[in-house]
A and B are shown apart, each in its own frame.
Chain A
């Protein structure tokens, strides 16, 4: 008896909740379609507008040109902002990688108590979860108090604090996946702590570091709110964009957004590959 009813239940589970041709199915499909349209239509529009001209709200499909890209590249202000954003992104990423590696190594020492680990994790993650206004404002007040002029340094510090959490999480996960025995084996074979880090741990962290760096860079690149409080004379790209739009919309902004979009998607895809890691990266 028991097996019979179990079989019935299994059959029930296999029967779809909604028929394939039913009204409900059709409605759900329509909702999904609308959501995706709403999500991607603006992006597509920007994409299209960076190549085509419009007249009275209609896209002129026969007007393909790269003019806006040309205009973009000859805009010195945007070029400056782009370079500044890249420099800030690199600095913040580098600083976050170094700091997060240190903290993650400290947290993953086996004698460390669960409590210490939880506290560390909380402290690292707080700035990421706090409203950026708070992080930005408190860093601003601090820089005032210690007389640090606003600019590259303050922005880099703000971005480092902001991206530290994501870098820390990725690195900690990878460090914990490295077999403890392997590290012990290295020491047993006569390697110092430093040699063990250099020859055994670091090579196994490589791909995780690359992934973390890409995500950190992407986060830093479009960070706006914290930057707003800390910016000095030189502006980052998002702030420059915002400033340009207040004066008036120029079509080269479409070209810029398209470029940033493509770069972000590429970065995210590569990072995702690295996070998964190559087979044999960790386990022998």
Chain B
């Protein structure tokens, strides 16, 4: 159904894409490659330009600057109906005066396809989205999840090379949302169509995506797998956007880039860094710190005092203070017996060098 690009390169390349409204810059020089067949999520806080980026790609608006390359051709100013992309809207945008079958078949109808072909494909796609038998219903007679699936079928039936989804699950309640996430993911696998999905929900992004593109203030902060984004943040924004993180300020990378001096001691770097000779901040996830029992060793081990303990069911969180005065938070699985993590106790904690990441130090205030 979807041909892969001849050269195996990206399906879509965005280069220097910018969108300015009178006073606001909604999008500032974004570069992004979308690989064929992937589930790519654009994640960012409200106002970070996600919708703008998606609408530019979809052709709803024209960029102030930049290119959108598709099959090597710049389509930044191509008419919306001429782009082989289809959109699933947050409010579904179903046609209220048409029934489910007419909604789903619309894209084929306006292309002048024969009735028999439309009927056949509508049946097939309603089957795919699990709505067979609902042909005669009107959108007003459907639940939120069902409308969502009609919207998806309506987009997929046009054989798009790329499906654009702008927070399609935002209007659903938590349970249905989880169900629809799984559903979306399985449809995407089943059809092999490339999905570009917008959300501001971190968990949703992690659950669904092959890769995540984190955006903030109209810029791309980082693109990578969920694991990359989580463990290898490249900026302070990304480091703090996903869950808790320990940021240890006042580090300096040696000139040869082989190790970093930190208030926790000198850490040998496993991978080369672009920050050689520079001031840096060390990031380490709370669950990457583990209490060491007698005789256990780790790449790095430090002594610390437990200042507070918070039992939260499956995990126990603790605040620590090292002898050098660095405050750390630690997260570990709770155990039924009272374990070594007690307020006031002294602990030896260990971590591996590969669990740490370096980001540029904050500019001097």
Contacts and interface: CB of A to CB of B under 8 A. Distances in A.
Interface string A176-215: 0001011011111111100100011001100000000000
A176 to B, nearest CB: 15
A188 B87 contact: yes
A281 B106 contact: no
Given A187-B80, A191-B110, A283 B96 contact: yes
A186 B60 CA distance: 11
Contacts of A199: 106, 109-110
Contact of B93 (A181, A203, A280, A281): A181
Given A184-B60, A190-B111, A191-B110, A204 B89 contact: no
Interface in B58-87: 58-60, 80-81, 85-87
A121 B180 CA distance: 45
Contacts of A182: 93-96
A42 interface: no
Nearest to B105: A189
Contacts of B96: 182, 204, 280-284
B331 interface: no
A137 B123 CA distance: 63
A185 B155 CA distance: 9
Interface of B: 58-60, 80-81, 85-87, 89, 91-97, 106-107, 109-111, 138-140, 147, 154-155, 158
Contacts of B106: 186, 189, 191, 199
Interface string A70-90: 000000000000000000000
Interface of A: 179, 181-182, 184-192, 195, 199-200, 203-204, 279-284
Given A190-B110, A280-B138, A280-B140, A179 B91 contact: yes
B136 to A, nearest CB: 14
Nearest to A179: B93
Nearest to A182: B93
A284 B60 contact: no
A181 B91 contact: yes
Contacts, number: 74
Contacts of A203: 97
Given A188-B58, A189-B107, A189-B158, A284 B81 contact: no
B95 A186 contact: yes
Given A188-B80, A188-B86, A189-B154, A284 B94 contact: yes
Contacts of A284: 92, 94, 96, 138-140, 147
27 contacts: A179-B91, A179-B93, A182-B96, A184-B60, A184-B80, A185-B93, A185-B95, A186-B95, A186-B106, A187-B81, A188-B58, A188-B81, A188-B85, A190-B107, A190-B111, A191-B106, A199-B106, A199-B109, A199-B110, A200-B95, A280-B138, A280-B140, A281-B97, A284-B94, A284-B96, A284-B139, A284-B140
Nearest to A184: B60
Contacts of A186: 95, 106, 110
Contacts of A204: 96-97
Nearest to B90: A181
A87 to B, nearest CB: 32
Contacts of B155: 189
B177 to A, nearest CB: 20
A16 to B, nearest CB: 42
B140 A185 contact: no
Contacts of A281: 96-97
Given A186-B95, A204-B96, A284-B96, 15 more contacts: A179-B93, A182-B93, A184-B87, A186-B106, A187-B80, A187-B81, A188-B59, A188-B60, A188-B86, A189-B155, A190-B81, A191-B81, A191-B110, A204-B97, A284-B147
A204 B94 CA distance: 13
A190 B154 CA distance: 12
Contacts of A200: 95
Nearest to A188: B87
